[in-house]
Amino acid sequence: MRRPHFLSAALVALALAGCGSLGGGPTVTTVATVPAASLAAPTPLPNAADSLKFCVLGDFGTGSTAQYQLAARMAELHKTFPFELCATVGDNLYGGERPRDFQRKFEIPYKPLLDANVKFYASLGNHDAREQRFYKLFNMDGKLYYSFKAPKQDVRFFALETTYPMPEQIMWLEEELKKSDEKWKIAYFHHPLYSSAGRHGSDLQLRQTLEPLFTKYGVNVVFAGHDHIYERIKPQNGIAHFVTGSGGQLRGGDGRRPEPFSDRIVDSSQVFLVAEISGDQMVFNAVNRTGQIVDSGTVVRQELSSAAAPPQGQRP
């Protein structure tokens, strides 16, 4: 990966958003990104010793050559940027889920990462059998939805099951968010609240259910999949959203009609995302299967008390 040693005027603050509240304090989220034309100089990952480094992968379990190629890129990057965990946003296994499928669609392609002790924390998609929650390498501890504190930095992840958002899960989520006093709250799940893709697009029902909780309790970042593209959304109500649904599957051209809330779409290659959190900053790079950085930037969280009053977030 290229590692330019600057981050300067080339960065454009593209969006400011509204505010979250409580559960760790009201925050604003800003995203500074590198324009697509300047991606030869992406935001460098600081690769600091005490930072939290992680990756996000979605819709990957196909067993295809493309999945293996992207997995090889992940392994290659891991040698210089040792991310410790990988959040999966569902559709971990397509088609059959026999033991050989777990090998062919997960254990073999990600063997270098598993051997390097990268922990995968799965969430389930609509192609995933519920028993995946018992699969040790997915670290779900038998639960369809769960939260965990990251091993470094002040970060909590919330993995949700969005094909079946039963009332118990929504109540659980509110309780978990309420008691979370971590600075960073990151939610990830399968169905995107915002997506420009033609095939599925935004799940408006789910948005109606989850977004009020996310804004109330100050969730900073949301990762989803389902649509087989990469998309970064302009912050919505204080939250940075990413669609990372091309970890194996790809729906070429499906992002040809970006919604007004869209900031960057990649629908021509499989993509995974790596990120690094240190203090109030999350630097991210989206990488495709030829190793090219296709999106890059920094998400900054700021306590509202020390921030200028934010402009209103954009509404689609």
Partner 1 sequence: MRCSTIWCLTGALLLTGWARGGEVVLAAVRSQTAANQNSAILADFKARVDAYAALRRKQEESLPKLSQEATPAEIDLHQRALLTRISTARGAAKQGDIFTQPIRGLIRAVIAETFARGNSATLRESIQDENPGKVTITVNGQYPEELPLASMPAELLKNLPPLPSIVEYRFVGDRLILLDSGAHLIVDLMPNALPR
The binding site for partner 1 (CB under 8 A) comprises 95-99, 101-103, 126-127, 129-131, 134-136, 141-142, 162-167, 170, 191, 200, 203-206, 208-209
Minimum distance, C-beta of residue 71 to partner 1, in the bound complex (Å): 18
Q: Round to whole Å and give the CA distance between 16 and 193.
A: 18
Smaller CB separation from partner 1, 53 or 191: 191
According to DSSP, the β-strands at 52-57 and 85-88 are parallel
Beta-carbon-side half-sphere exposure of residue 90 (alpha carbons within 13 Å): 28
Minimum distance, C-beta of residue 200 to partner 1, in the bound complex (Å): 6
- What is the helix (H) or strand (E) element at residue 213, kind and residue range? helix 204-216
**Amino acid identity, residue 222?**
V
Smaller CB separation from partner 1, 145 or 242: 145
Q: Which residue has the tokens 């890059």?
A: 296
Smaller CB separation from partner 1, 97 or 276: 97
Smaller CB separation from partner 1, 3 or 100: 100
Smaller CB separation from partner 1, 102 or 214: 102
Smaller CB separation from partner 1, 44 or 316: 316
Minimum distance, C-beta of residue 214 to partner 1, in the bound complex (Å): 14
Q: Which residue has the tokens 């029902």?
A: 205
Minimum distance, C-beta of residue 275 to partner 1, in the bound complex (Å): 27
Does residue 238 come out as left (phi exceeding 0), alpha (psi in the -120 to 50 range) or beta? left
- End-to-end CA separation in angstroms for the chain: 35
Minimum distance, C-beta of residue 93 to partner 1, in the bound complex (Å): 10
Minimum distance, C-beta of residue 302 to partner 1, in the bound complex (Å): 31
Smaller CB separation from partner 1, 10 or 137: 137
Torsions phi, psi for 101 (to 5 deg):
-70, -40
Q: What are the beta bridge partners of residue 265?
A: 231
Structure token pair of residue 200: 């599925």
Burial class of residue 251 in the structure, from the number of CB atoms within 10 Å of its CB (0-12 exposed, 13-18 middle, 19+ buried): middle
Beta-carbon-side half-sphere exposure of residue 166 (alpha carbons within 13 Å): 3
Minimum distance, C-beta of residue 127 to partner 1, in the bound complex (Å): 5
231 within 8 A of 197, measured Cβ to Cβ: yes
